[in-house]
Structure 1
C-alpha cells in the first residue's frame, strides 16, 4: 500500500533501504539458512507487486511499480546467487559489492553529526543526494552493470572520475545515468 502513496523516488530508496537491513538481519540471525527464508519472502513480495500491476493502476503508480520491480528482481537474483554460493555473513564480497542503503550518523561525512541516508558499496560511501529526479524508469541491472557501478563508485570515493568505454550503443551512458539516479545525484550528459 505504501508503494501507491509515496513519490516514486522515495519508494525506490525506501525499498532498497529495507532490502539492505533485512538481508543483513537474515545473515546475522540465520546465516545462509536465514537468506533462504528471506528469499522466499522476496518471492512473495514480488508476486504481490505483479498482482498490483495487473490491477491496472494509474500511470504514475504503474511507472513506480515498474522501476520497483526492476530493482526488486535484481535484489532477488542477488539473494538467490548468495544462497547458492553459501554466503552466510555480511562481510562477504558478494554482499558488500552491492549498492546498500542505510540510515546512519553522517558525522564522518559532514562533520555535523546529523543522521542521514547513506549509500554504500564495497568501501565507498556517499550521502544520498536528495536531488528529486522524478518518477523515472530504471535500467535493468545485470552483473556487468554491477561491475561498472563498483568501478565508478570506487573512483568517486577516491575523488577520481570514470570514463566507460566500448562500442557505441552498448549502454555506457545509460549505466552512468542510472548510477546517478541510484545516488540521487543529477547527471548532465553533453557531447564535445
Structure 2
C-alpha cells in the first residue's frame, strides 16, 4: 500500500517570514557554504523555516546563504501552485553532470528583488545530495527544476545569477533601476 508523504510545510504565505533575507552587496552572499555534517532536528527545523520564508517571499528556490547561514542546504518548489507536490530539499548537493542543450531563460532572485535578466544554463543537471532525512539521493532534473537547482547551487558557492548575465547593457540598466550596484557583480562566464 503506497504511503503519502506528509508535507514539510503548507504552501502558503505567512504574515511574517521566519527568517530574514540577505541582499546583493552583503558579504554573506559571497562566502562559500560549508557541508552539513549531520541531518538532525535542528537542520529539519531550518529547512521548514527556509520553505516558509521562500513561500512567504513568493520564491521558487532558496539557499541557506540567502538567510545568512553558511550551510549547503537549498529548497525549491517548481510546482508551487500544486499543494500535492512536495517541495525538494537538497543537502550537500553536488552536480555530477550538466547536460542537454543550453537554454536562455529569465531569472530573478529573492536576494536581488526587482531584477529579472536572461541567463544561459544547461537544460539538464544530475545531482547527488541528501534529503531532509539524511538519505543519499541521486536524480536528474530537467527544465525549470534544473535551472532552479543550478541557480541555488551557485548561491552555495558565493555566485549570484547576475554574475552569469552576458548582456552587460541589460544588466547595468536593470541594476540602475534598483538600489543595487553593478560594482557588486562578479562576472563568471
Normalised-by-shorter TM-score class: under 0.3
Report the TM-score, using the length of structure 2 for normalisation.
Answer: 0.27
Greater helix share, structure number: 1
- With normalisation by structure 1, the TM-score equals 0.27
Q: Which structure's residues are more often strand, by fraction?
A: 2
